[in-house]
Amino acid sequence: MKRRKLKVLSVAIAGIAMLAADNLVPTQFGLFVSEAQAVVGRPLTPGSVAGVARRTTRRVIRRSTIYAATLPAGCVRTSVSGAVVWRCGGVYYQPEGGRYIIVYID
């Protein structure tokens, strides 16, 4: 019975201490923080502008099983998501060894 009373008393003291801590004025070097410390604008935070821009402009390159020994005439070298591809009209080719593979840009 004494342990139960001691436990209830401990919980009550902890609760009162937590309520009192809410009324304390946070100091610059204290244990309490007066404002949120989230840094908006970091690339991997969900609400950052940089992260949203990066996720919306990232493109996916899907490879096909169609290979070509040489590129058609009039191809332009370009970069998609850091990968070098050749654009020939509406078809994209990616270098693969000594030949080219047709890729799809999503």
pLDDT value, residue 71: 93
- Provide the 10 A C-beta neighbour count for residue 51: 16
Strand partners, 2: none
* pLDDT tens by residue, 12-69: 887 777 666 655 555 554 555 555 555 555 555 555 555 555 555 556 788 888 999 9
Number of domains comprising the chain: 1
| Better-scored residue on pLDDT, 44 or 82 | 82
pTM: 0.46
Decide: 100 and 68 in contact? Cβ < 8 Å: yes
Residue 53 is part of which domain span? 2-28+34-105
**pLDDT surpassing 70 at residue 84:** yes
Instruction: Give the per-residue SS3 of the chain.
Output: CHHHHHHHHHHHHHHHHHHHHHCCCCCCCCCCCCCCCCCCCCCCCCCCHHHHHHHHHCCCEEEEEEEECCCCCCCEEEEECCEEEEEECCEEEEEECCEEEEEEEC
